[in-house]
Amino acid sequence: MKTIDARAYTELMLPWLNVLPDFLRTSDFNPELTFYGTGESAHWAIQSNCNVFAALAVLASDPALPETLRAELRETALKLLRYALNTHVTGEDLASDGKQWGRHWISVLGLERMAHGVNAIRDYLTGNDREKLRRMTLSEADFLLEEYEIIAGIYYASNKPESNIWNGGFLARAALDYPDAPNAERYREKATRFFLNGISHPSDTDCDTVFNGKKVSEWHIAPNFTANYSLDHHGYLNVGYMVICLSNLAMLHFNFKERGQQAPPEMYHHLKDLWQLVRKLTFADGRLLRIGGDTRSRYTYCQNYAVPAWLLAGDLFGDAEAAEFERRWLEQVRREAEYSGDGGFYSRRLANIRDKSYYYFTRLESDMILCLSYGAYWRRKFDWTAKQNEPLELTWQDEYHGATLIRKPDAIRSWVWHGGQGATAICVPPDHSDMAEWQSNLHGEMITVANQGSFPGPHEHRLFNGGFLNSGENMWRQAAQLGEGEGEYDYAHQQTVCAALPDGRTLLVLDYGEIIKEITLKMIKGLNLKMPNDLFNGSKRHYRGRGFLEELPGNPGRDDTRIIDSPYLVIDDVLSVLNLYGGKKLTIHRPAEPPIIIRKPYGPWLTSLYADEICSTFEQGFRRCRPHEIVLDTGTAVAVGNTPGRAVRLELPGTLRAVEYQGTDGFKYVLVASFGKDSLPEMKGELLARTAKAALWKRQA
């Protein structure tokens, strides 16, 4: 394995200095202060400023760089730090919006994330800087101590694992850095409760392990994670925030190690358990396997903060795979930076965001440079030995989110009902993370003229040896109405059955959509396989079908819809799609704008990735639909490999649907679904799994 060192990070950071001047401003209230981005008192603007300070401080302390460059970087870094200190509520200056910041639930996050930068530049802080840093730290710590209520819980509104960790970390650092503070001991005590309600688990209710003089069960408020460590953050199965939790623990771990301070042992409670799941929810190239999807810009925020998590796993556990994640992810960072062409990280791919929200764009750039600085600094300061690790295989399910996942050497297949943008699934080769996208993936869409979304209803799943059966329903809801006085309403009922076959490669999806309230639809898509076609795959995909062979580039800049006179399609010779019923042709729909958006309640939409859409059925154009109209009735197979499977539809009455599919293991599989009140029939063969709406049998070929 190629060794990762600090230079691998520094080399990626230095070109960013070319665009940095475009993002810097001099304060209107104090010309001696400089801020990054928009500079207002809003928490992300302040944090972005802190991010860039820390990154520049790390570069300024790098002995491998020329002293003239280091001095210039140090001067800028100190101006950014002083902007944060002076515009805090304990300071004497104002932020760019004429206000001050601080003393709320997220105000210390930027301070936690910049702590290594303060360590890097500490020798250059003046006595005045140190006094202001102390005053700000104790003010925030007293707020957390006296006014902040610790909350925890699995459900959306009470789920606060990451903020409990960073707030606990801030109190712990304040207690160790300023042991003479009047409330230092009380900081330490409340930090313990914060930490133990970070990666909090249902087993903590009865845990007798003692931290800081009390049992875990006495510190425990509620679990933030389910029994199998899934996290319902921002209201969906959020792998990204599982990583954010680990990243904040990494910042603390290395800070205490560098300062020679004893880390509170409770901050490591359940850390290894969570890491063991997160490492298997990561592709071999470092890209997160976000089975619940993402509501934000792809491959940016949470993905970046995987870097400190990997460094933590390397130092604590000697995790060899974590170092491989680092190495391969840095290759992707380099590829995107070269694609940008100006030294920026996202200036080309996310130009849409830059032009519509400078605030958000500068934040994303700051996260990347900050996270690279962790590797540049900690790899320079510390060394650890990598060891062998278990394979990245996983069979996993989660009741709370209706999730099933099987990760094997040949394929990764999952279905999740409570995803970030509705129900979502994937079926991809493990070495093709560039094929993974989750926005309404692998189930049909019924798109209206305004804003809509799908919301999961009842669902069931069953894991069995080598596969899973997952069935349930969505309601499609019209929101952000155009008509005055028009309220939100559900307009379509969708039922979906998904089966991962024991052949290790195939996912069968049966889909049924019925209109329940009269509505105008502008697009109906069956299957809706989102196939990213952007810089990470070289902006080209090869498609092969019966009588069809094309290499299609990324974003064409116009609507490009290809109807393929073929029941199958092979993508890049590694993934196959086969229509089982509902249509004899497939469609490659290539929209004019990147279709992968940041989830918001209304436009203008911020897009983050271009993807082709592979549809089993496709209708475009305004269509008025009446109640009881069936607009989706499709069955499709998606399989890893370059050879489409063989299948026949079995004719059954009413709303029963059935297919027989020959898997790559030589067996035949029969999947039956009831999309109405018809009872599921008994079929020949071995029953593998049954839910209220579906059943799967295995037969000899």
DSSP assignment of 293-312: --SS-TTSHHHHTHHHHHHH
Based on the fold, state whether residues 352 and 447 are members of the same structural domain: no
Pairing of strands 668-674, 656-662: antiparallel
- What 3 state SS string does 456-507 have? EEEEEEEEECCEEEEEEEEEEEEECCCCCCCCCEEEEEEEEEEEECCCCCEE
Based on the fold, state whether residues 357 and 408 are members of the same structural domain: no
Among 355, 381, 407, residue at a domain's last position: 381
Which pLDDT does position 2 carry in this prediction? Answer: 63
Among 333, 353, 381, residue at a domain's last position: 381
Beta bridge partners of 639: 506, 576
| Contact by Cβ (8 Å): 254, 185 | no
| Number of domains into which the chain is organized | 2
Which is more confident, 603 or 348? Answer: 348
Q: Would residue 413 count as lying in a domain?
A: yes
Which pLDDT does position 258 carry in this prediction? Answer: 98
Based on the fold, state whether residues 373 and 432 are members of the same structural domain: no
Q: Would residue 1 count as lying in a domain?
A: no
| Contact by Cβ (8 Å): 636, 580 | yes
Which is more confident, 191 or 481? Answer: 191
Based on the fold, state whether residues 429 and 324 are members of the same structural domain: no
Q: Which helix (H) or strand (E) holds 398?
A: strand 394-398
| Contact by Cβ (8 Å): 402, 499 | no
The pLDDT mean for the chain works out to: 96
Q: What is the pLDDT of residues 11-30, one digit of tens each?
A: 999 999 999 999 999 999 99
Helix (H, G, I), strand (E, B) or coil at 545: strand
Residue 9 DSSP symbol: H
pLDDT at 388 > cutoff 80: no
Which CATH number do you get for residue 283? 1.50.10
Half-sphere exposure for 701 (CA within 13 Å, toward CB)? 9
Question: Which domain does 36 fall in, by range?
Answer: 6-152+163-219+231-381
Based on the fold, state whether residues 486 and 415 are members of the same structural domain: yes
Which pLDDT does position 482 carry in this prediction? Answer: 77
Among 352, 381, 410, residue at a domain's last position: 381
Calculate what percentage of the chain has a pLDDT beyond 70.
100
Q: Would residue 66 count as lying in a domain?
A: yes
Q: Would residue 262 count as lying in a domain?
A: yes
- Report the pLDDT averaged over residues 129-154: 98
Beta bridge partners of 475: 455, 493
Based on the fold, state whether residues 365 and 402 are members of the same structural domain: no
Which pLDDT does position 553 carry in this prediction? Answer: 97
pLDDT at 562 > cutoff 90: yes
Based on the fold, state whether residues 369 and 418 are members of the same structural domain: no
Based on the fold, state whether residues 355 and 460 are members of the same structural domain: no
Q: Would residue 224 count as lying in a domain?
A: no
Which of left, alpha, beta for 422 (phi over 0: left; psi -120 to 50: alpha)? left
User: Tokens at residue 213, please?
Assistant: 């003089």
Q: Would residue 389 count as lying in a domain?
A: no
> What angle, 0 to 180 degrees and rounded to 10, lies between the N-to-C axes of helices 358-381 and 43-60?
40
Q: Would residue 641 count as lying in a domain?
A: yes
Q: What is the pLDDT of residues 409-419, one digit of tens each?
A: 999 999 999 99
Based on the fold, state whether residues 101 and 209 are members of the same structural domain: yes
- Lateral strand order in the sheet of 445-448: 445-448, 519-525, 618-625
Which is more confident, 482 or 590? Answer: 590
Which pLDDT does position 27 carry in this prediction? Answer: 98
Based on the fold, state whether residues 455 and 375 are members of the same structural domain: no
- Report the pLDDT averaged over residues 343-367: 97
Q: Would residue 157 count as lying in a domain?
A: no
Q: What is the pLDDT of residues 216-233, one digit of tens each?
A: 999 999 999 999 999 999
- Report the pLDDT averaged over residues 470-483: 90
Calculate what percentage of the chain has a pLDDT beyond 90.
94
CA gap 73, 155 in Å, rounded: 44
- pLDDT category of residue 214 using cuts at 50, 70 and 90: very high
- pLDDT category of residue 603 using cuts at 50, 70 and 90: confident
Based on the fold, state whether residues 246 and 358 are members of the same structural domain: yes
- Report the pLDDT averaged over residues 585-601: 94
| Contact by Cβ (8 Å): 386, 318 | yes
Q: Helix-strand-coil percent breakdown of the chain, rounded to 5? A: 35, 30, 35
Which CATH number do you get for residue 655? 2.70.98
**Global pTM?**
0.97
pLDDT at 94 > cutoff 60: yes
Based on the fold, state whether residues 431 and 528 are members of the same structural domain: yes
